[in-house]
Amino acid sequence: MKSDSRSEFTFSTGRPWLDFIATLADRLGEEPFERLWDTGRLALWLQRGMGAEPEVKVTEADLEHARWAREAIQVLADAALDGAAPPQRAVAAANRALELYEPPRARIEGGRLRAGAPTSVETAVSWLVLEALQTLSGDGARLLRRCAAPDCRAVFADPSGRRRWCPSDRCGVKHRVRAHRERAKQVPGEDVGGVP
Ligand SMILES: [Zn+2]
């Protein structure tokens, strides 16, 4: 059963590539959680995260390709955050995904101009890799942070420079609940107020 609340996708970073790597939840915890557990889940993510049409077919090979590219950009993000040199293998993987790049097409929807959505998984993945590359090789890398929750450690962009928790809210809320319980334990009988 996949009833775990961790199964929910998060689209809170405003950057598709960061939302994409967040599809492997709690990756450094004892129980990492794969949100892309089958081809249908990847299809759903592409629709919600990148505006792909439901007609975009997702095969098992596509799912494997997406997870593989996700791992590569996660490794590159980790290296950037750690101030380490990017591992050659991850760079090579990113380049292989980029070889499948096709540019977005402009289209008109409801009388308005829109950037086209990806029409295949390979195209979608190449866009995500390109976006990651642009962030990680540019000024945007300085805004990246890791969630303070030790089991989460999700990467997110923090233009304010003040966030401790990933924008999914899950970690921040969990932390506030725990802190509230700690305070209640330490000060018996004292009303420490509600959890925000
Ligand atoms: Zn988190």
Q: What is the pLDDT of residues 9-20, one digit of tens each?
A: 988 877 999 999
Between the CA of 91 and the centroid of ligand 1 the distance, in Å, is 26
Q: Look at the block and give the residue holding tokens 């962009």.
A: 157
Do β-strands 33-34 and 24-25 pair in parallel, antiparallel, or remain unpaired?
Answer: antiparallel
| Helix 121-136, helix 39-50: angle, nearest 10 | 60
In this prediction the pTM is 0.86
In a domain, 172, yes or no: no
Cα–ligand 1 centroid distance for 171 (angstroms):
5
Q: Is residue 24 part of a domain?
A: yes
Residue 90 domain-assigned (yes or no): yes
Number of separate domains in the chain: 1
- In a domain, residue 72? The reply is yes
- Does a structural domain hold residue 48? yes
pLDDT tens sequence across 47-82: 999 999 999 999 999 999 999 999 999 999 999 999
Q: What domain range includes position 78?
A: 5-144
Classify 77 as helix, strand or coil.
Answer: helix
**107 within some domain:** yes
Q: How far is the CA of 119 from the centre of ligand 1 (A)?
A: 31
Q: How far is the CA of 170 from the centre of ligand 1 (A)?
A: 7
- Confidence band (pLDDT; 50, 70, 90) for 143? very high
What tokens does 41 get? 């889940």
In a domain, 46, yes or no: yes
Alpha-carbon gap, residue 143 to 108, rounded angstroms? 34
Cα of 121 to ligand 1 centre, how many Å?
Answer: 27
CA of 165 relative to ligand 1 center, distance in Å: 5
